[in-house]
Amino acid sequence: MFVIFGLDDAKPEITVSTFTNHCYHCNNTSKWHYVKHQTSFSLFFLPVFPVKTKYYYLCPICNHGDEISSNEYDRMTQQNYQR
């Protein structure tokens, strides 16, 4: 018997900000994206449980930006949905 396991990167969840932000990397002004990127332990190619989750606030044009905390991600995405 053999077992296939590993790490699986899920498709990132993207929430578009309601605010515009200027990117000094590509010199464009646009609505930046809040991105949740989750890596899960997988068994037979099926995700079983999350191993690590990272949150980013990124420019949608050049993907330059910063890593943010989960609290900050939750606060900013909830503000988006309340509008």
Nearer residue to Zn ion within complex by CB, 30 or 39: 30
Per CB under 5 A, 25 contacts Zn ion: yes
Cα distances (Å, whole numbers) of residue 13 to 23, 68, 71, 72: 21, 14, 16, 15
Binder of Zn ion out of 7, 14, 26, 51 (CB under 5 A) = 26
Question: Can you tell me the distance from the alpha carbon of 68 to that of 56, in angstroms, rounded to the nearest whole number?
Answer: 5
Per CB under 5 A, 23 contacts Zn ion: yes
Per CB under 5 A, 22 contacts Zn ion: no
H helix intervals, the chain: 70-82
Binder of Zn ion out of 32, 59, 73, 76 (CB under 5 A) = 59
Nearer residue to Zn ion within complex by CB, 43 or 61: 61
